[in-house]
Amino acid sequence: MQVQQQFTIVKEGNIASAKGFQAGGLHCGLRKKKVDLGWFYSEVPAEAAGVYTMNVFQAAPLKVTKESIAKENKLQAVVVNSAIANACTGEQGLQDAYDMRQLFAETVGIEEHLAAVASTGVIGELLPMDKLSQGISQIADKSNLGANKFETAILTTDTREKGIAVEVEIDGQTVTIGGAAKGSGMINPNMATMLGFVTTDAKVNAASLSTALKAITNKSFNMITVDGDTSTNDMVLVLANGLAENQSLTPEHPEWQSFFDALQFVCEYLAKEIARDGEGATRLVEVQVNGAVTDEAAAKIAKSIISSNLVKTAIHGADANWGRIITAIGYSGEPLDPDKVSISLGDILVVENGVPHPFDEDQAKEYLLEEEITIYAQLGDGNGKGIAWGCDLSYEYVRINASYRT
């Protein structure tokens, strides 16, 4: 295991790494061949928290999952289908989401309000409930178990699975936090088509878990963008089943920060993997902003830079066109002194105190051709800092989205 701060990254860790969790996936016919129905399950009810899309068109599964959590802030199992988003489907779509929850709860033997549902895929199509029902009925078959199958089942245009787990010691007990996510296009979360699921065997106070998730989401999932579009189906859920037998975690617990940091690392890792897997992407781009008036201002500026299509296309062409970065900073709406702004592409300084700094174009081009690049923006003497992640914008992105339904 690789040492990372106060926690360790579990080799081949996944959403089922924490005590008492299992996951699986199968093909039920929503897609031609690929696994398209996934689930994960806790042996006991778990404290639960969620964050959801800010799009006013919220898909039926989100409404149903919100109701489940609202009853007693607990969940025990989550079922997810890909291919069809069950969004903008009216009363029938909402009833299908309720039926999906009921069928799933009955199959795994839990109370209905302890089950959550999520969907991702094409908007405006009804779920083929006959296929979905048949698929749910096969969940008990142990041959369908496997976290890798879950990770595959939730994908749409993604090119790779996204999973991780870490371990951290709390009260002398080993606490594990695992996660899985999907997302490749329609990614500009305020809570994109993005789904994130995190499990832990830590014992955590429900209100504290919810507060932590919201704070961490604002520094992880909400700080990525692929194309500036916020989906109808975004959702991140965290389940904490307490089987690690630590003392209940709240911000007053002496090791709360260790837990918080580990949870934030898992969410940041998954967020960065989504950005790395952006539709047609060839680069993972990180933007670090320092010297802003506040952290909030720095975050907004970082997101403005990473969201600029002109910046993203310049990166794809390995063109050190720093004027596009300056422009994105300028229209962010945040206060700053233009004469104090400096910009670097990796270690290559291109703007110093608001004016061009001589640099080697060939060296800059070579850097921008790397798979991971970082843009640094120093705005002045403030204490505010923020980080955002995204990717380049390629010809392949246009091809994928021009034929998404075909």
The DSSP bridge partners found for residue 174 are 169
Q: Which of 152, 157, 193, 232 is catalytic?
A: 193
Cβ partners under 8 Å of residue 375, min gap 6:
285, 286, 287, 288, 305, 325, 343, 344, 345
DSSP 249: B
One digit per residue, pLDDT tens: the chain, 406 residues? 444 468 999 999 999 999 999 999 999 999 988 999 999 999 999 999 999 887 778 899 999 999 999 999 999 999 999 999 999 999 999 999 999 999 999 999 999 999 999 999 888 999 999 999 999 999 999 999 999 999 999 998 777 899 999 999 999 999 999 999 997 654 444 433 589 999 999 999 999 999 999 999 989 988 887 544 455 678 899 999 999 999 999 999 999 999 999 999 999 999 988 888 766 678 899 999 999 999 999 999 999 999 898 999 999 999 999 999 999 999 999 999 999 999 999 999 999 999 999 999 999 999 999 999 999 999 999 999 999 998 888 777 677 667 655 5
Which among 237, 277, 269, 264 has a CA at the least distance from the CA of 13?
A: 269
- The model carries a pTM of 0.85
Residue-wise pLDDT tens digits, 340-376: 999 999 999 999 999 999 999 999 999 999 999 999 9
Structure tokens at 196: 């994130």
Half-sphere exposure of 52 (CA within 13 A, CB side): 21
User: b/e string for 362-373 if b means 16 or more Cβ within 10 A?
Assistant: eebeebbeeeeb
Answer whether 174's CB lies under 8 Å from 144's CB: no
What domains are defined for the chain? Answer: 2-276 (3.60.70.12), 284-402 (3.10.20.340)
Catalytic residue flag (residue 193): yes
Answer whether 1's CB lies under 8 Å from 13's CB: no
Which among 302, 321, 400 has a CA at the least distance from the CA of 359?
A: 321
Residue-wise pLDDT tens digits, 209-250: 999 999 999 899 888 875 444 556 788 999 999 999 999 999
